[in-house]
Amino acid sequence: MSRREIWDFWAKGYEGLWVQKYSLAPTRREILLYLEKHLEKDKKYRILDVGCGIGQLLREIKSRFQTYELELSGIDFSKEMIQRAEVMGDGISYQQMDVKDIEDLQGPFDIIICTHSFPYYKGQAFVLHQFRRVMKDDGYLLLAQASQNNLYDHVMMFFVKFTTGKARYPSVKAVEKMVEKLFQCKHIIKIKERFFMPSIYFFVLKGDKT
């Protein structure tokens, strides 16, 4: 089964996957907490969620920030995921797209969010360059992912891959190395909901080097 077929398969029951409770939902919570502290009511934001799945995070952002001026968009390479997201719509723009074609989008974006899809991208350094190309000079990339930093993480990710398929989970140091000439790393937040889960890290990356 191809990677696309795997995610098309999981789209129908995505809300019920075991990773929702211990991985995806805690990550969405941290993203929302960060946005609460940093979004300004008198400013308009264009926000793009890359690997948006069925649009859970975008709908939560729209609900949480109803009085803010936000233009919300999401892309995912799974046709089934996008179709489910569009059904729940809520005024959010969705498009089926491979991350390698992200330059085809009409940018620039103030904030790009990428949660848990980054490990599945081939050519991760190239993907980061693509993110930077469609982002405003002073924009932010909010990158969150499971991360293999030690033997325990490696063992835990071995079991996760039975659900999600082949992926490469870069360590914190590897991510820092990949982004060093593109972004300024403002914060690194560890998300650890349960002891049996691998490390999840949330990187707040600013688009300038000042």
Provide mean pLDDT across the span 141-160.
Answer: 71
Residue 57: domain span: 3-206
Distance CA 57, CA 62 (A): 9
pLDDT in tens, 5-62: 555 555 666 665 656 666 888 999 999 999 999 999 999 999 999 999 999 999 999 9
Q: Domain holding 42: CATH number? A: 3.40.50.150
pLDDT in tens, 14-25: 665 656 666 888
Stated pTM of the model: 0.88
- Quick one: CA dihedral 164, 99, 74, 39, positive or negative? positive
Distance CA 96, CA 81 (A): 9
Give the residue among 67, 3, 46, 54 at the shortest CA–CA distance from 28: 54
Q: What is residue 38's predicted lDDT score, i.e. its pLDDT?
A: 95
Exposure string (b/e) for 166-186, b if CB count within 10 Å is 16 or more? ebebbebebbeebbeebbeee
Count of domains for the chain: 1
pLDDT in tens, 68-120: 999 999 999 999 999 999 998 788 999 999 999 999 998 899 999 999 999 98
